[in-house]
Chain A
Amino acid sequence: MTDTLTIGGRSFASRLFLGTGKFRSNEEMAAAIAASGTEMVTVAMKRVDADDRDDDLLAHVRRPDIQLLPNTSGVRDADEAVFAATLAREAFGTPFVKLEIHPDPRHLLPDSVETLRATERLAADGFIVLPYCQADPTLCKRLEEAGAAAVMPLGAPIGTNMGLRTRDFLEIIIADAAVPVIIDAGIGAPSHAAAAMEMGASACLVNTAIAVAGNPVAMARAFADAVRCGREAYLAGLAQTGSVMQAEASSPLTAFLD
Chain B
Amino acid sequence: MFSEELKKIGWDETSRRIAAMTDADVRRALMPGHRCTVDDFMALISPAAEPYLEQMARLSRRYTEARFGRTISMFVPLYLTNSCTNSCVYCGFHVSNKMKRTILTPEEMVNEYRAIKRLAPFDNLLLVTGENPVLAGVPYLARALDLAKPLFSNLKIEVMPLAADEYATLRRHGMNGVICFQETYHREDYNLYHPRGRKADFEWRVNAFDRMGQAGVHSIGMGVLIGLDRDWRTDITMMAYHLDYLRRRYWRTRYSVNFPRMRPSENGGFVPNAIMTDRQLAQVTFAMRIFDHDVDISYSTREPAALRDHMATLGVTTMSAGSRTEPGGYYSYPQTLEQFHVSDERSPQEVEQALRAMGREPVWKEWETSFDRPHLVS
> A interface vs B, CB < 8 Å?
141, 171, 175-178, 237-248, 252-254, 256-257
Tell me the chain B residues, 78-116 only, with Cβ under 8 Å from chain A. Answer: none
**A257–B53 touching, CB < 8 Å:** yes
Q: Determine whether the beta carbon of B249 is less than 8 Å from that of A178.
A: yes
In the bound assembly, the distance between CA atoms of A172 and B310 in angstroms comes to: 31
Contact of B282 among A237, A244, A252, A254 (CB under 8 A): A254
**Are A242 and B58 in contact, CB atoms less than 8 angstroms apart?**
no
> How many cross-chain pairs have Cβ atoms below 8 Å apart between A and B?
59
Q: B27-35, B118-126, B144-152: which lies at the A interface?
A: B27-35
Distance of A213 Cα from B279 Cα, bound (Å): 58
B residues near A239, Cβ cutoff 8 Å: 28
Is there contact, CB below 8 Å, between A252 and B54?
yes
Q: Mark B221-263, 1 if CB is under 8 A from A, else 0.
A: 0000000000000000000000000011101000000000000
Q: Which residues of B contact A177 (CB under 8 A)?
A: 248
**Which residues on the A side are within 8 Å of B351 (C-beta)?**
none
- In whole angstroms, how far apart are the Cα atoms of A245 and B53 in the complex? 11
* Additional pairs, 18, CB under 8 Å, beyond known A245-B58, A247-B58: A171-B35, A175-B35, A177-B248, A178-B249, A237-B28, A237-B39, A240-B33, A244-B55, A245-B32, A245-B59, A247-B54, A253-B58, A253-B313, A254-B54, A254-B279, A256-B306, A256-B307, A257-B279
**A243 nearest CB neighbor, chain B only:** B31
Q: Does B141 lie at the interface of the complex (its beta carbon under 8 Å from any beta carbon of A)?
A: no
A256 touches B310 (CB 8 A): yes
Contact check, A253 vs B54: say whether CB atoms are below 8 A apart. Answer: yes
Q: Which residues of A contact B35 (CB under 8 A)?
A: 171, 175
Residues of chain A with a CB closer than 8 A to B165's CB = none
Residue contact A141 to B251, C-beta cutoff 8 Å: yes
Tell me whether A240 and B28 are in contact (CB under 8 A).
Answer: yes
A248–B61 CA distance with the chains assembled, in angstroms = 14
Jot down 26 A-B pairs with beta carbons below 8 A, ordered by A.
A176-B247, A176-B248, A177-B248, A178-B248, A178-B249, A237-B25, A237-B28, A237-B39, A240-B34, A242-B31, A242-B32, A243-B31, A244-B30, A244-B31, A245-B55, A245-B59, A247-B58, A252-B54, A253-B54, A253-B313, A253-B314, A254-B54, A254-B279, A254-B282, A257-B279, A257-B282
Report the bound CA distance from A257 to B54 in whole Å.
11
Which chain A residue shows the least CB distance to B58? Answer: A245
Say yes or no for B368: interface residue by CB 8 A criterion.
no
Bound CA span A64–B307, Å: 64
Chain B residues with Cβ below 8 Å from A246 are 55
Chain A interface, >50% SS class: loop
Q: Which residue of B lies closest to A141 (CB)?
A: B251
Q: How far is the CA of A177 from the CA of B249 in the complex (A)?
A: 8
A177 to B282, CA, bound (A): 30
Whether the Cβ atoms of A244 and B248 lie closer than 8 Å is: no
Query: Which has the most chain B C-beta neighbours within 10 Å: A178, A243, A257?
Result: A257
In the bound assembly, the distance between CA atoms of A237 and B53 in angstroms comes to 22
Closest CB in chain B relative to A174 CB, distance in Å:
9
Determine if A257 and B278 form an interchain contact, defined as CB atoms under 8 angstroms apart.
Answer: yes
List chain A residues, Cβ under 8 A from B288: none
Decide if A254 touches B53 in the complex (CB within 8 Å). Answer: yes
Can you name the residue of chain B whose Cβ is closest to the Cβ of A138? B251
User: Please, how many angstroms separate the alpha-carbon atoms of A219 and B39 in the complex?
Assistant: 35
B57 on interface, CB distance cutoff 8 Å: yes
Q: Output the least CB separation between B343 and chain A (Å).
A: 16
B279 close to A247 (CB less than 8 A)? no
Q: Which residues of A contact B62 (CB under 8 A)?
A: 245
Q: 9 tightest A-B contacts by CB?
A: A240-B31, A247-B54, A178-B248, A253-B57, A256-B310, A244-B30, A141-B251, A257-B279, A254-B57
